[in-house]
A and B are shown apart, each in its own frame.
Chain A
Amino acid sequence: MNPFDGVRSDRRRFLELAGLGALAVAGSGLVAGCGDAKTSGGPGTTDKNQLKSILPAYTAAAGLKPDIPSVQGTDGFFSTPVYLSYPASPATTATGVPGKGGSYTAITPLWGAIPASTGNTYYDTVNQALGATLKMQPSDGVNYDKTLPTLFAGNKLPDWLMIPSWNMGNLGFAEAVNKFADLGPYLSGDAVKAYPNLAAIPSTAWQCCIWNGKLFGLPVYYSGATAGGAFYYRKDILDKLGVRADSIKTPDDLEAAGKQLTDAKAGRWAFGDLFDYLGLIYKYPGDPNKWALDASGKLVNRYEMPEFLEALNWMTKQVKNGYVHPDAIAGKTDQGHQRFWSGKEVIQADGTGSWNGGDAQSGKAANPTYERQAFKPLSTDGKPEILMNAAAGMYSFLNGKLSADQIKECLSIANYLASPYGSAEFLTVNFGKQGVDYTMKDGNPQLTEKGSKEVATTFQFLVTPITPVPVQAGYVQVAKDYAAWEGDMVKYAKKPLFYGMNVTEPAQYAKLTQPMTDICKDIRFGRKPVSAYQDALKTWKAQGGDQLRAFYEDIRNKYGTGQ
């Protein structure tokens, strides 16, 4: 059974949205050919037909039975299955060598140290298996939003490019996407069957890859429940100081714990800067779906929601109380992990990707008792709600200048890269060469010292199979803990407004966000009074916020809310 069945009803609505990108450019109305705007016949049938013509046909992969099965949550969301050991004799899923000797440049973001490109056994091993050369050019993930516009402006696009959804705002993406190849002719409907591993990608993930009524992207790291993040704590430190994590349920509880955990003299502070994640507690939407409905049914941006201001007030208070690490206040977010590992920051908000065996390994190197855990969903009223991100938040694209044969070769390569967990290919793509980059230990692959320098998330950022939670670096308990947390979290999962709709805002509104981000920082770090917020909000509305509301109002009227 397709685990994504529960969310299939979304497809119809999604397809209605296929023309949104074009709408953004045109300013109003739909460009003919992109989605059917003629409401006369009722959107249902036509859209369903169009959906059929765009989405690749789903064929489930004959997967392994997980050790901890997926938990079905609310709104069709479900947790990620967990495997505690890798098959002893992994099967080969792809037939033959996928590549035909072609050579392609690929740019992907990387949050971490960039590995050497020459003498890299991992790169060489994967390329040899692919039968083609992918010249990987990882680029700093933190500054990726600044790299992309210059790539487009200089017309220096690589053959294969990964773009995360949160870096699309300043690109005017509905226009940018035309630089890429339309994959519809190769993948839509039954065509995808030529690439069985791509056919096993669930439809909810493919849906996120459609702009202007065309299939452009390949989904990267999608899942059944993509939460914006989690509130982590150092269990070993909480235990030592007698703070019980399961008794912390509200921001007030968190504040009380902050007092107990902070000991500035000893160089220990309770919190990092939690602000960007407080929507998970105060129930306002995060990026990219920043809109919600107020009690009267009017569209409001998160900046206008009282909950947002409450969250800002809470964070400001914690800074004033002295519970936040001074380096976090000085904007040193890049060293956040080190502060957590060394116990200088006890409670931190971060993406769910931070909780894995690699993290346990680094943490234990700093402190042998290190243990990361996450709070169960918190809320102000005892009724948590987690507004989810779209199934896929990152996508890779093929350059529109590639010939049909080259696109086919790249898709064959993609098919190899999307080999499922448990296969021989998965090991190669994720761990490189056995005996050099990794060894099998206690039934799981573990990177060698050479491997940990060479193997970085690079090929995986071009396309992935549905990603299970594997055991990393031998930390079986971490995988179990994560599964338990996620299995609980999905019970509170909820779709935000315009969920998974790939709305492309007109580029002129890109400038609205920065001043709001700046004012929130100024306030919570004590540089400006909370009262300054209302002035900034007024400016936001006047400079385009209200127009943006009208833009979304139009979308809501024509295409629904995606919920």
Chain B
Amino acid sequence: MTAIPKAPPAVPACPAPSVAGVRKRDERRRRFRRDRALLIMTAPAVLLLVVFNYVPMFGTATAFQSYSIYAGFMHSPWTGLTTFRSLFADPTFWSALQNTLVLSLVQLVLFFPIPIALAMLLNSIMSNKVRTVVQSIVYLPHFFSWVLAITIFQEMLGGAGALNQFLRQHGIATWDIMTNPDTFKFLVTAQVVWKEAGWGIIVFLAALAAIDQNLYEAAAVDGAGRWRRMWHITLPGIRSIVVLMLVLRLGNILTVGFEQLLIQRDAVGRDASEVLDTYAFYYGVVNANFSLGAAASLFKGVLSLILILAANKIAHLVGEDGLYRK
């Protein structure tokens, strides 16, 4: 006896698209068509992001393995959270974390406002020529490598540098700047200011240029002085950019400079210069304990994500756009 196949059910497997659904799809297609040019233009950037930022994320799997460079991460044994346990049990890791946080805090307080102030100062210069010259000079150090920047600092402020040789020749006590672990965080910040502050003003200059000049004229007519105009027009005008930059900075806050610290490690010692990035480098690559290095980096990544989301939330709470408009 042959079984008679049952007739297919009369009810269709998926419900017919509702009117709202159809409208949504049409809407999406319409927007897609409208933004086609923009989407094509962003495609290469997205591709780069996927290839160089998202694909390597699979490498973080090594943090949960006992990774051997010979077995590769396809064949290394899984160890769960063991690596994290030994990471958290390592006192040097905590001292690296502490250094990272202290350095980032010092840099936030001492570095972040400087490009804003510099931008406002430059903006107030009337002569275009003077402004261009000053701008070029403060941009220049950004294009130096860290090796060069630190060599310049060493030549100027080092124990045998220009300053100390001058002091010595005049019988004045020398000043230990480059090899003092206690003041290292300020030295590092000073170096960052010297090298990057000029470059950091670009965004703020653009924001300043976007402020309606009529507002200044109207305020001046109403008798507002220089300070009042700054307080009531300039600062509110660039506030959203400042907040955006602050949020972005907070997401990046645990990245306090890898090369810069690596180069000066011998000058001040590990205790003062070890941060999460150098920790991951020394324990991961130099000692070939890639799992531990990956775990330290993953920990840093998660912490950064939490920071950036929290900062964004706060920005929204106080009525700013933050990273995106809510």
Contacts and interface: CB of A to CB of B under 8 A. Distances in A.
Contacts of B154: 327, 330, 332
A376 interface: no
Contacts of B264: 330-331
Given A152-B69, A522-B271, A525-B179, A330 B159 contact: yes
Interface string A139-176: 00000011001101101000000000000001110011
Nearest to B73: A153
Interface residues of B, number: 34
A23 B286 CA distance: 23
Contacts of A175: 68, 70
A331 B267 contact: yes
A413 to B, nearest CB: 27
A149 B160 contact: no
Nearest to B69: A153
A518 B269 contact: yes
A111 B126 CA distance: 52
Interface in B148-200: 154, 158-161, 164-165, 168-169, 178-179, 181
A241 interface: no
Contacts of A269: 160
A contact residues, range: 35 or more
Contact of A518 (B68, B179, B270, B283): B270
Contacts of A549: none
A330 B285 contact: no
Interface stretch (B96-104, B112-120, B287-295, B310-318): B287-295
A330 B286 contact: no
B225 interface: no
B193 to A, nearest CB: 21
A172 B72 contact: no
A283 interface: no
A528 B272 CA distance: 12
A176 B282 CA distance: 20
A165 to B, nearest CB: 16
Given A146-B286, A179-B70, A330 B267 contact: yes
A326 interface: yes
B70 A150 contact: no
Contacts of A550: none
Nearest to B62: A153
A344 B158 CA distance: 14
A269 B165 CA distance: 13
Given A265-B169, A325-B160, A326-B158, A511 B266 contact: no
A108 B265 CA distance: 26
A507 interface: yes
Most central of A172, A333, A518 by chain B CB within 10 Å: A518
B269 A329 contact: no
B289 A511 contact: yes
B203 interface: no
Given A153-B69, A521-B266, A525-B179, A170 B286 contact: yes
Interface in A170-194: 170-172, 175-176, 178-179
A338 B265 CA distance: 21
Interface string B224-256: 000000000000000000000000000000000
A519 to B, nearest CB: 9
Contact of B269 (A149, A176, A525): A525
A65 interface: no
9 tightest Cβ-Cβ pairs between the two chains A and B: A326-B159, A331-B266, A153-B69, A170-B288, A330-B267, A326-B160, A518-B270, A522-B269, A152-B69
22 contacts: A149-B69, A153-B69, A170-B287, A172-B68, A265-B165, A267-B160, A269-B160, A325-B160, A326-B160, A326-B164, A326-B179, A329-B267, A330-B158, A331-B265, A510-B288, A511-B289, A514-B286, A515-B92, A518-B269, A521-B269, A522-B271, A525-B179
Given A170-B286, A330-B264, 20 more contacts: A146-B285, A149-B290, A152-B69, A153-B69, A153-B72, A153-B290, A265-B165, A326-B164, A327-B154, A327-B159, A330-B154, A330-B158, A330-B178, A331-B265, A333-B266, A511-B287, A511-B289, A514-B282, A515-B270, A525-B179
